[in-house]
Amino acid sequence: MLAAQRSKLKILIADDHALFAEGLAKLLERDFEVIAIVNDGEHLIQAARQHHPDLVLLDVSMPGLTGVEAARKLLEVVPDCKLICVTMHSNPEFVREAFRAGASGYVLKRSAGAELAEAIRQVMNGNAYVSPLLTKDVLSILLQPKTPVLTARQREILRFVAQGLSAKEIASRLNISVKTAHFHKTSIMEKLKLHTTAELTRYALEHGIAS
């Protein structure tokens, strides 16, 4: 009965490393239905709209939309879908951001072969799963006071800042004035209590916002 239920589970894989994504699909195809493999956040959202997956396996860092940002948008499209991050990033801050974005599991790529089936079982049963290698560090970081929550536009601006874009370039990308771009950057610095572009960039990297 369990095998029959598992075979019906529709899984969508999002990872910009094609060989890893294909290997993941091979690992899962005996027990699950892998409905699509995509290589960035935008295509993930499109595929989710088309296929309505039960579970998405996504990397934290992908071109364009990061995995964390894609997770937020994904759950607007398919709110009942479960998310597991499968990534090389072991920084506990990435784990915290992933769970805040709606993920239920976090698996390191180096142990995916051994852990993924159990992670899927736990998540689909309504539990959370984190790679055992991360558990101690994750618990310590999750117990720390929450950092301020940025709006979607502020996260977008911060991502561009971390990519090294000037206020003029950001304004052009977003079709806003340079003054508005400066305003957003200043608001982000005040909210995060940061004072330099370097500090903003470091924050973006640590929180999975920079692509």
pLDDT digits (tens, 9 = 90+) for 112-140: 889 999 999 999 999 989 888 787 666 66
Answer yes or no: pTM beyond 0.75: no
Domains of the chain, CATH where assigned: 2-142 (3.40.50.2300), 152-206 (1.10.10.10)
Residues 34, 28 contacting (CB under 8 angstroms): yes
In this prediction, residue 170 carries a pLDDT of: 92
* Sequence letter at residue 54: D
pLDDT digits (tens, 9 = 90+) for 54-80: 999 999 888 777 777 888 888 888 999
Q: What is the pLDDT of the chain when averaged over all its residues? A: 85
The whole-angstrom separation of Cα 208 and Cα 198 is 16
Residues 74, 44 contacting (CB under 8 angstroms): yes
Residue 6 — pLDDT band, cuts 50, 70, 90? very low
